[in-house]
Amino acid sequence: MTTQDDVPIGFIGLGNMGAPMSANLAKSGHGLVVYDAAGTASRAPAGARPANGVAGVAAAAETVLLSLPDGAAVAAVVAEIADAPGRAARVVVDHSTIGIAAAEGVQARLAAAGIGYLDAPVSGGVSGAEAGSLALMASGDKALFDRLDPLLAPIAANRFYVGARPGQAQAMKLLNNFLAATAICATSEAIAFGTRQGLDLALMLDVLNASSGQNTATSDKFSRRVLTGTYDAGFTIDLLTKDVRLYLEQVAKTGTRDAVGGTVGATLEAVLDAMPGADITRIYSYTQDH
Ligand code: NAD
């Protein structure tokens, strides 16, 4: 790892999360070399050097951070890093949500190339990414986590080491997102019911946020993004459905109970079918219509 401006940090995937996360790294004084397959120049934070591919990042940076959609994207990028000509990369930190099996595959691929790996998904949404207030849950080598901690501080104010095995941080992230998904699905049903009873949306949210029904959907997604009509959590139904699928696949292997999980998963699949690409706050629009 380096924190020197002359040896930049690499950042690959400058989407809803990666753009503000990399911007916070740049603001904290790190030199950055960045890449996004959908176009780097328009997504790169101020001061960052755009690379023309994954290999360009791997050739310039010792530490490479990833924020990619899913396990397939991460596996492809990690293979390209490992095989990059003139590779400088020695450590990969993956902030993507990819599930346990994919993280184990990444670990094997990187270890074979002598590259260190921290499984480090994040939670807190686009607003948390912009504010640098994300929660980061990491698993892997503890000494590597400790060494990277100062680098990760500008991205995530709350950093947790959850286990020695890559994949354990994914398990933590998946169970968190199952709870967040449950909150938005259940809140959508409760609010639709209340509206039919003649209750005012803003007033319901005030009551809930001072009551035992308070949750992340009432305090954030509904208060700031449904009530305002902006529907802009910055997290697509596609990605949340991916997360709950990964959670349910793992629950099936683990053999723990999935009664609520199955219902939430089926709800998300129905919303994804009806409105692919929609913001997750549209779960409420779907609930109103069905
Ligand atoms: P996104 O789709 O907005 O961004 C992903 C970016 O990766 C895109 O810009 C895409 O062009 C780029 N990309 C895809 N394949 C690539 C490749 N092979 N090489 C280079 N770039 C590539 O997704 P996001 O919402 O920013 O989420 C990123 C990850 O973080 C996901 O795993 C997601 O589940 C997780 N996450 C998202 C949120 C959220 O609120 N959006 C919160 C926590 C975690």
**pLDDT by residue (tens digit) across 205-252?**
999 999 999 999 999 999 999 999 999 999 999 999 999 999 999 999
Q: Are residues 73 and 210 in the same domain?
A: no
- Rounded to whole angstroms, the Cα distance separating 196 from 184 reads 18
- Rounded to whole angstroms, the Cα distance separating 70 from 98 reads 5
CA of 162 to the centre of ligand 1 (A): 23
Q: Reply yes or no on whether the pLDDT at 67 is more than 90.
A: yes
Going by alpha carbons, the residue nearest to atom 11 of ligand 1 is 38
Q: Are residues 157 and 179 in the same domain?
A: no
118 is written with which tokens? 């921290």
Q: Are residues 91 and 119 in the same domain?
A: yes
Q: Are residues 228 and 255 in the same domain?
A: yes
**Closest ligand 1 atom number to CA of residue 233:** 40
- Render 51-75 in DSSP notation, one character per residue: PSSHHHHHHH-SEEEE--SSHHHHH
Q: Reply yes or no on whether the pLDDT at 263 is more than 70.
A: yes
Q: Reply yes or no on whether the pLDDT at 4 is more than 90.
A: no
The pLDDT mean for the chain works out to 96
Going by alpha carbons, the residue nearest to atom 30 of ligand 1 is 96
The answer to whether the CB of 50 is under 6 A from ligand 1 is no
- Out of 139, 164, 189, pick the residue that ends a domain: 164
The label of the residue with tokens 């779960």 reads: 283
- Rounded to whole angstroms, the Cα distance separating 22 from 220 reads 23
pLDDT value of residue 120: 98
The answer to whether the CB of 11 is under 6 A from ligand 1 is no
pLDDT value of residue 172: 98
Handedness of CA 239, 215, 262, 283 (dihedral sign): negative
pLDDT value of residue 2: 40
The residue-averaged pLDDT of 7-11 equals 94
Domain range for 138 = 4-164
**Using 50, 70 and 90 to split pLDDT, how confident is the model at 202?**
very high
- Rounded to whole angstroms, the Cα distance separating 13 from 236 reads 16
Residues noted as catalytic = 173
Q: Are residues 123 and 212 in the same domain?
A: no
Q: Are residues 11 and 147 in the same domain?
A: yes
Q: Are residues 88 and 150 in the same domain?
A: yes
Q: Are residues 158 and 193 in the same domain?
A: no
Helix (H) or strand (E) holding 107: helix 100-112
Q: Are residues 116 and 187 in the same domain?
A: no
Tell me which of 11, 14, 17 to substitute to probe ligand 1's pocket, judged by most ligand atoms within 8 Å of the beta carbon. Answer: 17
- Out of 133, 164, 195, pick the residue that ends a domain: 164
Q: Are residues 158 and 18 in the same domain?
A: yes
Going by alpha carbons, the residue nearest to atom 18 of ligand 1 is 73
CA of 213 to the centre of ligand 1 (A): 31
CATH number at residue 179: 1.10.1040.10
Q: Are residues 18 and 151 in the same domain?
A: yes
**pLDDT by residue (tens digit) across 103-155?**
999 999 999 999 999 999 999 999 999 999 999 999 999 999 999 999 999 99
CATH number at residue 16: 3.40.50.720
- Out of 144, 164, 184, pick the residue that ends a domain: 164
The answer to whether the CB of 96 is under 6 A from ligand 1 is yes
CA of 70 to the centre of ligand 1 (A): 7
Overall domain count for the chain: 2
Q: Are residues 145 and 91 in the same domain?
A: yes
Say how many CA atoms lie within 13 Å of 13 toward its Cβ: 21
CA of 40 to the centre of ligand 1 (A): 13
The label of the residue with tokens 């400088």 reads: 88
